[in-house]
Every structure is written in C-alpha cells, then in structure tokens.
Structure 1
C-alpha cells in the first residue's frame, strides 16, 4: 500500500486523470458516441453487435478495442517496466500521447473515425504508463476499479479495520480529477466541438516538458515491492 506518496506521482496522476476525463467526454459527445478511455462498455457493445450481425459496428468497435490495446502495447515498448521509476522514458511516452491526441483532434475535424481510434490509443498508452506504486493499482483513464477499491477501503474503515489513508486519499483525488475533466470536456465540447481536445493536448504536452525537466533533479523512485 502507499505509505508515502511522492508529490510528482500525486500531481501527475491527478493531471492525467483530468485530461482523460476531458478526452472521453468529448469522444462520447461526438459523432461516434463511443468511449475511448476504457474497454468494458465497448466490449458489451461489441458483443451486442455480433448478436445482431451488425458488421459495421463489429468492425468499428473491434478496431476501437484493438486501438486501446495498441496504446498499452506502445507504453510497454517505450517504458519497458511494470513499476514506477524515474527516467526520460515517461517523458517520451507523454510526448507520444500528446501527438496522438493532436492527431485525433485533426481527424475528428475531418469527421474521420480514425480520430476515435487515435484517441483510444492515447488513452491506452496513458493507462498502462503508470501501472502500480507500492502495491496500489493506479488507473487514470477510468473509475470502475478505483471506485471498487475505494468502496472496499471505506467498508473496512467502517468495520474498524486499518486502511491505508494515503492510498484512499490518492484514489479520491484521481476520482474527482477525472470527474472534473469530464465536466470541463462536456462544457468545452458544447462550446467549441472537438476543439475541446486541445485542452488535454496542452495538458499532456506541458506535463511531458515539466516531467523531463524535473526528472533530472528528482531522486530515483522505485516500487519497493517489485
């Protein structure tokens, strides 16, 4: 469990969760009407499309699922590890994510479904980028597992059992930041359409620049369990 969370992880997780919430809401409000930040609901839609032999939906949703997976694979290729450790590989992954989001914005402007795929790839990359820290699972692009973990922790606390308050606090921050990003994405999409994606593009790009500059001056951080 997280006992002492480095500030760079706290701020990084919060910022990326906000960005993912914004991206996902814009994608859902757009012409494709499909989520890009997680796969669970899309798998159900994929199964329904198979049941109704809706070939168009099978192809579109199947490609979306594979794009999220491709982003996660890209993260593993670039970062090459399963535990948090400072290094410029995270900076490179963030630059790639920013580029994917920018490409997604341009494709969406052309009303091209490939924009949905590149947005999903960016989210898959981000979600796999930060896997675990001190035994606590960290997810920044969806809230299902996070909400379950928070609920279980609160239940244990109500029963008088000890819990990791830093872990619960971090999870709550991620939850609220994703929700806040979703609200921001909804308002921006209602005002400027897919221009809403320029906010997460800017956020991720700035995060990459700040991280690369800061990583040279921060002490090396490893997951003590792994």
Structure 2
C-alpha cells in the first residue's frame, strides 16, 4: 500500500489504501464530533466559521479557527515534503511510512490525554482538535500524494462529486466498457462506504469503550504501515530462495 508511488501504483494498491485510511478517517471525525463538537477530517466548514467570526469581529475565535486550517495545511505539506525529499534519502517505504507514524502519534496522544488528563476546558479542546486536524492533514497529504490524486480519504465532498460524474459516465456504453472508468467508480464507492462504516462503528462503540476507540484507529493505521513491511519481507525471502535454488540447480547453457 505504501511502497509504490504515483503511476506505478495499481488499482488494488489504491483500493486497499483508500478503504483502510477512509475507515480510520471516518472514525476520527465522528469521535471529534461526539467529544469536541468539531469536524476534524476536513476543513471546508472551518472556512465558513472563520468568515463568520471575522464578520462578527471575534478576533480570538477567528485566530483559533485560522490556526486549525493552517494546521491541516501544514500536515498535508509535511507529508508531501517527506515523500518528495525522503525517497532519495531513506527509501520509498520509510518516506511514505513517516507521515503515517506521525499521524498515529498524534491520535495516540489525543486518546491518552482524554483518558487520563482531560478536564473539558476550552483550551484543552482547542489543542486536541488541532492535533487531530494535523493528523488528518498528514493522512490526506500522504494518500493524495502517493496515489497521484486518485485517493483522498479524509473528506467526501470532492469524492461525492467525482462519484456522481463517474456514474453519469457509465450511462454510456463506451464508458461501461472502459475498465478504468469502472475501477474508478468502485474505488470511489469503496472509500465512501469505508468512511461511513468507520464513522458508524466508532459512533456505536464509543459509548461502550469511550476513549479506547482512539486506540482502534491507531491499530487500523498500523495495519496499513505493517502490511507493506510484511510484503517486503516476503518478497526478500522469495528472491533469496530463488537465488539459492538457482545456485543449487543452475540452468544449462546452450
């Protein structure tokens, strides 16, 4: 899911990355709405709130909302910087995994703080929302960058529009016979379904296990990260085995 980059990625690479990351983003967004009454997987609504606070002259509130928008922006930018510059220094897999590691740390910090230290003050809430927005910015920047814009999993506004366009294209026979168009439709629908599934599950289990739900989000992200690590080890093992077999049973030269 993380090893391949841009046009080298297959449809199934994007499908696995899109569904798992969308599942986690849906969980995070619902949890932040339940606990903080704020959306954290996207910033579309925050622009409207920023404009409202500015029009009312509420400069402190406007500054906080602007900080949230800037935090999401910074997370996305850091992800892309790590991917662009890290590929040649630490390797593609590590460069792509670092934003995910940072995201897990941010979400884990929020979960731990809520469980042991949270006193429900406004200051605490604003900082925790900032942390989750940074995490979602990291995720959106990562998935969009390595998939060449094909996978965006933290918000559904553009995705819903793209899905509607794709479905309208499928009303014509020449597009129904186009495998790429069909695969795009399946990918977009899968991301939307995974987001809703994650959000629904988080909403249900939060009332049973409370802040432990954040640890489930971290576990989901760990699956994304360690899946490629497992695949890399399997690939190395197969190459090594093939090399040893070739040494033991060399092919006869013509």
TM-score, normalization: structure 2? 0.75
Higher relative helix content: 2
In 1, the alpha carbon distance for the partners of 2:11 and 2:197 equals 23
* 1:64 alignment partner in structure 2: 68
Match of 2:27 among 6, 22, 25: 22
How big is each residue's C-alpha offset from its partner over 1:19-63, in whole Å with a ceiling of 9 and x where there is no partner? Answer: 0000011001113x1111111111111111111223343133222
Could you tell me which of 61, 67, 75 is aligned with 2:79?
75
* 1:40 matched to 2:44: yes
Task: Give 1:173 shift.
Answer: 0.6
Structure 2 residue 98 is matched with structure 1 residue 98: no
Shift, 1:153, TM fit? 1.1
Aligned residues: 215
**C-alpha distance in 1, partners of 2:221/2:49?**
29
1:97-136 map, 5 Å: 97-109=103-115, 110=118, 111=120, 112-113=124-125, 114-131=127-144
Q: Match of 1:195, SS?
A: helix
Name the TM-score, length of structure 1 as normaliser.
0.84
Larger Rg: 2
Give the alignment of 1:165-184 within 5 angstroms.
Answer: 165-184=182-201
Change (3 A) 1:29 1:120: same
- Whether 1:146 aligns to 2:159 is yes
Distance of 2:73 and 2:112 partners within structure 1: 22
Gapped regions of structure 2 (runs ≥ 5): 1-6, 86-90, 237-254
Distance 1:166 1:214 in 2: 24
Please tell me whether the aligned partners of residues 68 and 133 of structure 2 are also in contact (alpha carbons under 8 angstroms): yes
The alpha-carbon deviation at position 132 of structure 1 amounts to 5.7
Q: Please name the residue that 1:224 is paired with.
A: none
Contact 2:11–2:183 (8 Å) recurs in 1:
no
Question: Which of 210, 214, 222 is the matching residue for 1:193?
Answer: 210
Q: For residue 223 of structure 2, what is the aligned residue in structure 1?
A: 206
- Gap regions ≥5 residues in structure 1: 220-226
CA RMSD in angstroms, aligned pairs only: 2.7
Distance 2:147 2:101 in 1: 26
